[in-house]
Structure 1
């Protein structure tokens, strides 16, 4: 490998990037193993078999050739978990340079096969981010070769698209980002608050103004530092890490923030890390390469250059998109979901509307329940429901059903998957009930279901002390009248 292609100051970057991204794949495949079948399996809310039969999958998938079955889905998810675990502990990285690449391409192919069948349940920006990150870090090779400088540059380019794209979508989006009021609402109205979200929301307004300004600096200015020489690039990466840690502390955004942290940590040079943590060797990369006899294989140089060039070409549409007045958010420009455009929260909702599903065992068949019927609410694992329950910490795990419940008031209640969910609850389907935190009927089918919406807001400190409630809800409205199983 020519000297100009090597980045010996990035050996710790390789370890952080490959093991960190593999850990996120592990979380993603565990999430798939636990949730795909009740949501998208043979008897799921949106069966993947129907999607394949209609030829409407988003892109390449192994299931197109094999056919979908729940058994095959379990095999794919289990294989993904095993490969991810191997890469997390670093065993393949001790082998030839092609071995980590082969395994990361395996993770990429397996997860792409899942995502392309996932429909709305896998329609989030962090899915394509994980795919692109896995494809890219595989090109870093093993410990037997120095990390390739072009791949480190590609990591910086991916992080730049992720952060700068999010910043641009905000200043082009809702006025609240421009008048600095976005964080007056966001902590309360975000899809899935966590235990500290309420405390963040109750901060004074000047604090929220500072948060927005800090966000704009971190997303619109700091990303340019990533392309400058060390230690400036590390300063930029550290700034991104700090802002992402605040987002981790105040929200549940699956693995989006953690993926950003891993990518940014991968741009901290070995010497910079050694300066911060003296026990970390500053010359790990040079020592690792010197311990391996022989020259760097020519084939690996060819693979590195070809793979890097392909990713650079794939990213050209995303570059144009960054500066387009019609900027797309979380968009892929090819079937392989590489070189994507990213972004989040171009606008912020001003009030939180929660959809609450309730059931009752009262009522005669064919007759609506009486006005005094007792209704019991189904509780979800992550989304707000019980006003006395503190929002939980969930991320980096992704509760896909809970997230879509947040979108319901925004996209309209009459979604196919939602009415399929109601039908499964009426039948007390065990697989669907396992996706919930609490079934008020302990596995028995209710006689009727209804759906109400409420406006939720965080309780003030005084209200919380007086009532024990974390949420105050008002404005009850029935959006689905009582329905019974057919």
Structure 2
């Protein structure tokens, strides 16, 4: 039908493949992370048990499958189902059927993961959670191999990338002075939540290059996003710049699936001819005979109108002096506000948890042993690992403690779990110095960490230099622990 030429984006089949399969892969990782960590963090016997939180969810009207009942068994069933559906979408099997089939599959992932996020409390309070929800809902309407990609949905995905990038850029310009005087990268590689294997080398680059990094960031986030809406090949080039800058962030840190989501979603602005020009093995013609059924046109246009209506407040937020970061404006977590690192911390303070088997914690001969985490810095000789796009939620929350307060309810419950050598909690750690045994006492210390320079590393073999600061939580035992308000 000729009159549908404006709606059918026939030159964007490669973009659809990347968007659908890539988003499904991120959902797979999200459900895997939840399956491995949720019961210990938020389960029936977790640090912040969901059953205790359900009353709050009901009062706030948050949509969730667990609204009236939660169990670890149900949570695991949801994750396994999500993993199976995600895997099928990565393989492209639902996409071979009618357009409603991948739509239902993605909407199922969206609702199930939203059910988890809405009861996940502080452990699911990250911006990339709602980013994944919005991405999953939007790409659900990209259709299947039996229909051409709908242009309106591709534009909505580009609008999502614009909010993600431009929102982050505006947060920085309105935030700390270090972004305006180009000194942010003097600190960021060292103080970011979870450094990666290349973070130290990035930190040790000459300071003029760090200023170039900041300038490049401003260009990529404040200028380039506008060109995503330009005709091809300009839009494809703009997407390529965003992809390259995001790959630099992937290589220099661990930000869960945030950077990978930006990379995947940016392909919405890459046409088949542009993709073919860069990678000649990508075909130019996929299925030119495919047509769009009228019923599918009606569904897609209805969803397009819905998301455009939801876009009003996020659009105002982008240009507001009181810009919100990582905020949702509706209960369905659609068309959100994004942004990250409006300010950069100048010093890295690490919370270190220790235990001892000595009877007297104040004895001068006491032997305190340090618990090791999988991702967060601890052992000064250990090279940071690359975990992203997998998300280590406990490690991330440990980074936030010095910025807020170490006296978080969940941290005290975490210490209680260590005192009882709770197996699910210990599995969240990278190293248990008591090999599954119970310590008599635990305490929380703080240290100032910085990357060792090259001369220090050659001399000591240590990648971090740390200086003790203060005792944040004094020794606690099962018998003598302080009485806490929630106990």
Q: What range is the shorter-chain TM-score in?
A: over 0.9
1:401-432 alpha-carbon deviations (Å, 9 max, x no partner): 00000000001011001001000001100000
Write out the 4+ residue segments of structure 1 that deviate beyond 2 Å after TM superposition: 53-58
| 1:449 equivalent in structure 2 | 442
State which of 375, 379, 383 in structure 2 corresponds to 1:382.
Answer: 375
| 1:478 equivalent in structure 2 | 471
State which of 332, 339, 343 in structure 2 corresponds to 1:347.
Answer: 343
The unaligned stretches of length 5 or more in structure 2 are 480-487
TM-score, length-scaled by structure 2 = 0.96
Q: Distance in 1 between matches of 2:144 and 2:326?
A: 31
Q: Distance in 2 between matches of 1:485 and 1:470?
A: 36
| 1:308 equivalent in structure 2 | 304
1:37-79 alpha-carbon deviations (Å, 9 max, x no partner): 00000000000000013436671101114x1000000000000
The unaligned stretches of length 5 or more in structure 1 are none
Q: Distance in 2 between matches of 1:152 and 1:63?
A: 32
1:273-311 alpha-carbon deviations (Å, 9 max, x no partner): 111112211122xxx141x5xx53211011110011111
State which of 368, 376, 391 in structure 2 corresponds to 1:398.
Answer: 391
| 1:356 equivalent in structure 2 | 352
1:148-163 equivalence runs, <5 A? 148-163=150-165
1:286-325 equivalence runs, <5 A? 288-290=287-289, 292=290, 295-325=291-321
TM-score, length-scaled by structure 1 = 0.97
| 1:141 equivalent in structure 2 | 143
Q: Distance in 1 between matches of 2:100 and 2:117?
A: 25
Task: Verify the 8 A CA contact 1:51 1:57 in the aligned structure 2.
Answer: no
For the pair 1:429 / 2:422, whether they are aligned, the reply is yes
Relative to structure 1, the CA distance from residue 177 to residue 58 in structure 2 (aligned partners, 3 Å threshold; closer, same or farther) is farther
RMSD of the TM alignment (CA)? 1.0
Q: Distance in 1 between matches of 2:211 and 2:52?
A: 48
Q: Distance in 1 between matches of 2:117 and 2:33?
A: 12
Q: Distance in 2 between matches of 1:397 and 1:56?
A: 32
Q: Distance in 1 between matches of 2:470 and 2:380?
A: 17
1:314-356 alpha-carbon deviations (Å, 9 max, x no partner): 1111000000000000000010000100000000000000000
Q: Secondary structure at the match of 2:6?
A: helix
Relative to structure 1, the CA distance from residue 398 to residue 390 in structure 2 (aligned partners, 3 Å threshold; closer, same or farther) is same
| 2:39 equivalent in structure 1 | 37
Task: Verify the 8 A CA contact 1:389 1:470 in the aligned structure 2.
Answer: yes
Q: Distance in 2 between matches of 1:395 and 1:215?
A: 20
State which of 326, 333, 339 in structure 1 corresponds to 2:329.
Answer: 333
For the pair 1:61 / 2:45, whether they are aligned, the reply is no
| 1:71 equivalent in structure 2 | 73
| 2:401 equivalent in structure 1 | 408
Please state how far the C-alpha of 1:98 moved relative to its aligned partner.
0.6
How many pairs does the alignment contain?
Answer: 476
Q: Distance in 2 between matches of 1:279 and 1:351?
A: 47
Q: Secondary structure at the match of 1:187?
A: helix
Please state how far the C-alpha of 1:33 moved relative to its aligned partner.
0.2
